[in-house]
Amino acid sequence: MSAQIRLFMCLKDNFGALLHDPASGRTAAIDAPEAAPVEAALAATGWTLTDILVTHHHRDHTGGIEELKDRHRCRVVAPDGEADAIPGVDETMRDGGNIRIGAIEGRVIATPGHTAAPATLYFPAEKLVFAGDTLFSIGCGRVIEGTMDEMWQSMLKLRALADDTMMYCGHEYTLANIRFAKTIEPDNAVLAARERAVTQLLAAGNPTAPSLMGDEKKANPFLRADLPDVAKAVGMAGAPAAEVFAEIRTRKNKF
Ligand code: ZN
Ligand code: FE
């Protein structure tokens, strides 16, 4: 039996997620923005928390760790480059390293840019990726600790994932991201379709995550900075992709 996922909201607009392996009974929280919604998700599913996998050190992803660890004695696994800034870490994960939650096997993809050493968690057999604040649906995280070049390289690593991978991200920012993306690619049909779908999801009170990597590749401007039409749209025809990416990211900061 394959992985089961429970997605829920935390804080103002953070996604929380539980990843459950029916074979072993292990359950991992992907980040822990705050304890109470994680506890509510555990109660609703009947799952027992055994692990917390942390994508990066920001407080809105780590604030619930200590309380959850106190109660559940769960294992806390964090990116090796950020473990000092994260409470309760038992194990660290490095780029290319393996992650195991019972029978569920994944791989760490280091995606620097938003922070210095965030971990994107990729589960190829399950066709799942948890991108933290590196990649959002139709957006990407602010480049805070890394460089624009690094963030663009991280985008390329994520763009290499299979189209049928379901992407879970750290925040419900999708509609605002779409509004911005339309300023870059107003005629993108996949983007227009995503806007219609997202508007319906939100109107029904549903999350816009996960999204398909195939759709992200076709509609997320931050994954498309090396396309001639996108460079042209920001007045940078012929410029290096990392510079086009930087321009799009800078425009989004001001949007
Ligand atoms: Zn963050
Ligand atoms: Fe965040």
Query: Residue-wise pLDDT tens for the chain (255 aa)?
Result: 589 999 999 999 999 999 999 999 999 999 999 999 999 999 999 999 999 999 999 999 999 999 999 999 999 999 999 999 999 999 999 999 999 999 999 999 999 999 999 999 999 999 999 999 999 999 999 999 999 999 999 999 999 999 999 999 999 999 999 999 999 999 999 999 999 999 999 999 999 999 999 999 999 999 999 999 999 999 999 999 999 999 999 999 999
In a 13 Å sphere around the CA of 177, the CA atoms on its Cβ side amount to: 23
DSSP, res 165: P
Between CA 211 and CA 25 the distance in angstroms is: 26
Quote the ligand 2 centre to 171 CA distance (angstroms): 6
Say which CATH number the domain at 124 has: 3.60.15.10
Residue ranges making up the domain that contains 33: 4-254
Quote the ligand 1 centre to 118 CA distance (angstroms): 9
Ligand closest to 172 (CA) is 2
**Count of domains for the chain:** 1
Between CA 1 and CA 194 the distance in angstroms is: 31
Model-level pTM? Answer: 0.98
Using alpha carbons, select from 86, 64, 84, 146 the residue that is nearest to residue 110. Answer: 146
Quote the ligand 2 centre to 194 CA distance (angstroms): 23
